[in-house]
Amino acid sequence: MRLGNKTALITGAGSGIGRATALLFAREGAAVAIADINQEAGNNTAAAITTNGGRALFERTDVSSAADCKRTVERSIREFGSIDILFNNAGIIRRATVLELTEEDWDLTMRVNLRSMYLMCREVIPHMLKSGSGSIINMASGWGLAGGPKAAAYCASKGAVVLITKALAVDHGRQNIRVNCLCPGDTDTGMLRSEAQQLGVPETEFLADSGRRPLGRMGTPEDIAKAALYLASDAASFVTGAALVVDGGGLAGSP
């Protein structure tokens, strides 16, 4: 029970990596506050935890809304007493060059992928300061460290996530708040599959290409959840400001 007596707030926890992380954190003893814009998906994740004896709540949240973030954090504190772990996981991708990208999609990508982290950290960090510790995990990407094709807004947002993570780690390290980010490679989620549709590529072809890396497969949501668990737990007590690459060797080079 590596997260016993802790509370985690996870955004985008209705599906994919967020859901896998919520379920894993609950198995490791954490109470889990689930934030997602999808009511049905968020409720399903919460039910999957509570029906197995865990503690969870769901709050429908538009993570780009300051009011929604404030309400979600306040309810989490009211029901669980603290927030020890914040996993800023919610994100979107729009596959387009700057010539193809609309201003609306650029702004939406920045609001969901980056503004949300500022808003959630602004609400959560004061509570971590009161309790004397905390772990914040931000979802970046391999494309926050290296550019990718037809993903200008996504790459820009995820590169910014890497650096806001480092800035937060510098600002709050002396207050015993650790801040790290995850940089996954292609992971088998609904968002990844949506990229095939955006690019007009057959899904089977797109997924096969995603598996061409040294380990010979794409990631699973559970792969990334395990890395999040490491950063959330005391096993990473001397780790802050890190960008942890979890990509099957994709950034290391060709297989």
Please give the positions annotated as active site: 154
* Whole-number Å distance between alpha carbons of 34 and 57: 6
Write out the two tokens for 9. 């707030």
Strands 31-36 and 7-11 come out as parallel
C-alpha triplet 72, 42, 6: angle, nearest 5°: 55
Side-chain-facing half-sphere of 25: CA atoms under 13 Å? 35
- The amino acid present at 169, given as its one-letter code, is A
Scanning 28-115, the segments in alpha helix (DSSP H) are: 39-50, 66-80, 103-110
- What Rg, from alpha-carbon coordinates, does the chain have? 17
Strand order in the sheet with 243-246: 56-60, 31-36, 7-11, 85-88, 134-139, 177-184, 243-246
User: What does DSSP assign to residue 216?
Assistant: S
